[in-house]
Chain A
């Protein structure tokens, strides 16, 4: 007997790890805020309470099923408790629903509606906390937080970072970055998975809709748009469609009606990326140089690497991401061709992603104050603009994208799902190396939702080992193995979000694993529907190389399509002053950030302190500080004397350092 009784009906147990799963299988949608199958069980929201005969009231999410259990899911007591919990959550929540970014997709609003809550007996939140708008990508409004902890666990468990955590106690509890710092000053990589899982409007992707409307309404500007691969398989969800429906044609029609002058495809730039990145890879492979090569299309991963993987930065592909390649190409060539000044050509990109907003604002992607990509809209944002304009999406006739940058191969489209970048590169690498036609273009082994995927491909006798990883927590684990020498690869594709770009934070709600899987299927369907599947076969790409790129010098080409990376500090933090008394002439700082700390900077610091203090001629004049990160992690351990930074300074260099200090204070 492996049965369980739910509301007097009998159900077969099939290894479900908690009651919630079997109850939902039985067709009862128990409400939850804090339960997600991909996260650890927290049991805080108390919405999934059930009555178990002989056991009383328990949370279904954190109770294991036992054969013979008799469960009731909506007794009078349960209804009373659930309503009370909901009412209390609502009382503490800033209920300005009409002006909330999440209005219509908010779980709290949805449950209040399902429960028919018409009156909150406990009044309103009396104290409003400041809203954090510091980030380029996310807005955090603590007044809308219901303390379910979904974002905390998402960032820590799935993304392996832990930007957010609970602070304070009792009625003062908030979810916040360390030391209540703004998001822009901590190690947030802008992936936005916190916002994707937030049930309310406490964490949302920052909107750029007003800027884009303004540009569209300005007659002096020409506004063009690029559509990322993952947007086409998700936009339909905002208009009653299913995840994975390919709605590129209707989207193009809608965008023209909004006033965009040309509709282009980021997949074109992805084809370009494939060509550049594959050549770079084959070059490295031949010279056995900086392997494995990591992909660099994902801006959240790039920021993660800059913060945490100083020693791997040379291994990142120097290629700009497709978004930024498109921006460079548009401002450099398209603007000239159309006889428009770069500042009057407004490049808008439609992205599934919140981190792309950060990427577009990186300093290196602007020239003379003009950004290569001016604005980044998410799938949700463009859907809202379409609704705002009153365009009835479902009734639109499909239209095509514009030439030349609206033309793409399937290789450019599969960039939107995990495994896609690696597969596109393989389709190119195989033909470039073997000079043979690749008959079966489908490298199915790198597809799918498994966290870390591996493949070996034979390129003319050379076996190339590939890893595909998504979710930064998986990335962290893989990098550890690579560093320890447990595994060895030649090419590693990284996407920060689980599922890849199809699961970006800008995608429609619900943005769960199911939806991501369906969108990925849509991506591969789009690939199958196209005539060409290999970037190197694209006539537009080949023509573009012949007409433009091949006429550039190596340096010009590099500037146009490639970039470089720098170390980035994780948290804005002050110094720890260790010696000195305010009359010092010289300050000496030793970095105790992670890279330097692991490199032995603490020993150096201690040694230096002792030596300086023991020398009366120095003790008065020198201030020694421990500090966090000079953004010189590659040169760790680092040391700063006055304004000058010195790399690779170990304990054995103490005497050398003291000499430098002495010469500077003149003693």
Chain B
């Protein structure tokens, strides 16, 4: 329990450190948001309001920046972030069916990108720069090349098993 307590406290202290590190400079907003997202895995609304207050910006402006860039998420993300490349090469090699099968496997409802147990987030990216391995999927930092719906299902099953055993 002590761990849970210090985790949220540490994160909040980090927010202040991050803002201070950049001297609260408005031009550093994107870098500040990036670092905050690393702490929280997403950008909580309250934290964005706090950032706006501390930096003398309007919350609407901070929200605008946070929603402009695909790298920022205002929704909590899952433990495993699955990115399906949908660049031209991957697209013609079948990233569409791959994406669909992943969503089905982890059980995502329409319009949702993160599973309710917060284990999986599934999203598409435009190009991972590994076109020779198309279609490409990454799970967190790990790259899986020449993926097929059958292959990715096995990988996801393994991850699911790992979570169940915990």
| Residues of A bordering B, CB below 8 Å | 156, 161-169, 176-179, 186, 571, 573-581, 592-594, 597, 602, 606, 609, 613, 619-620, 626, 628
Contacts and interface: CB of A to CB of B under 8 A. Distances in A.
B21 to A, nearest CB: 15
A166 B5 contact: no
Given A573-B46, A576-B47, A626-B50, A168 B68 contact: yes
Interface residues of B, number: 33
B5 A162 contact: no
Interface stretch (B52-60, B94-102, B104-112, B147-155): B52-60
Interface string B75-109: 00000000000000000000000000000000000
Nearest to A169: B68
B12 A573 contact: no
B13 A156 contact: no
Contact of B59 (A571, A580, A592, A626): A571
B60 A164 contact: yes
Nearest to B58: A162
Contacts of A580: 5
Given A156-B58, A167-B64, 9 more contacts: A163-B58, A166-B64, A176-B60, A176-B63, A179-B48, A576-B44, A579-B8, A581-B1, A613-B6
Contacts of B61: 156, 162, 165
B53 A597 contact: yes
A165 B12 contact: no
A156 B60 CA distance: 10
Contact of A593 (B5, B53, B60): B53
A164 B58 CA distance: 9
Given A573-B45, A575-B46, A597-B53, A165 B8 contact: no
B124 interface: no
Contact of B12 (A169, A594, A626): A626
B54 A165 contact: no
B126 interface: no
A178 B59 contact: yes
B165 interface: no
B53 A594 contact: yes
Nearest to B11: A578
A574 B58 contact: no
B60 A168 contact: no
Name, among A178, A606, A609, the residue most crowded by chain B CB atoms within 10 Å (CB to CB): A178
27 contacts: A161-B58, A163-B58, A163-B60, A164-B60, A165-B58, A165-B60, A165-B61, A165-B63, A166-B68, A167-B60, A168-B67, A168-B68, A169-B67, A178-B48, A178-B49, A178-B59, A178-B60, A178-B63, A179-B74, A186-B60, A576-B47, A577-B8, A578-B8, A579-B9, A597-B54, A613-B6, A626-B12
B56 to A, nearest CB: 8
A579 B2 CA distance: 9
A516 B52 CA distance: 34
B138 to A, nearest CB: 22
Contacts of A156: 58, 61
A168 B72 CA distance: 11
- List the 4 shortest-distance A-B pairs measured between CB atoms, nearest first: A162-B58, A178-B59, A165-B60, A165-B64
Nearest to B63: A178
A167 B63 contact: yes
Contacts of B16: 602, 606
A578 to B, nearest CB: 5
Interface string B29-59: 0000000000000001111111011100111
A179 B45 contact: yes
Given A165-B60, A167-B67, A178-B60, A581 B4 contact: yes
B2 A177 contact: no
Contact of B49 (A571, A602, A613): A571
Contacts of A581: 1, 4-5
A656 B49 CA distance: 29
A501 B13 CA distance: 46
B131 interface: no
A161 to B, nearest CB: 7
Name, among B49, B62, B74, the residue most crowded by chain A CB atoms within 10 Å (CB to CB): B49
Contacts of A176: 60, 63
A381 B8 CA distance: 52
Contacts of A577: 8
Contacts of B2: 619
A102 B1 CA distance: 58
Contacts of B44: 576
Contact of A628 (B5, B49, B58): B49
Contacts of A597: 53-54
Contacts of B68: 166-169
B9 to A, nearest CB: 5
Contact of B60 (A177, A578, A594): A177
Contact of B13 (A163, A575, A606): A606
B72 to A, nearest CB: 11
A574 B67 CA distance: 19
A651 to B, nearest CB: 15
A625 to B, nearest CB: 10
Nearest to B68: A169
A574 B46 contact: yes
A162 B62 CA distance: 11
A169 B68 CA distance: 5
A162 B46 contact: no
A614 to B, nearest CB: 11
Given A165-B58, A168-B67, A571-B59, A578 B1 contact: no
B113 to A, nearest CB: 15
B2 to A, nearest CB: 7
Interface in B130-163: none
Name, among B1, B57, B69, the residue most crowded by chain A CB atoms within 10 Å (CB to CB): B1
Contacts of A165: 58, 60-61, 63-64
A350 B50 CA distance: 40
B63 to A, nearest CB: 4
A153 B59 CA distance: 15
A613 B63 CA distance: 32
Contacts of B46: 573-576, 626, 628
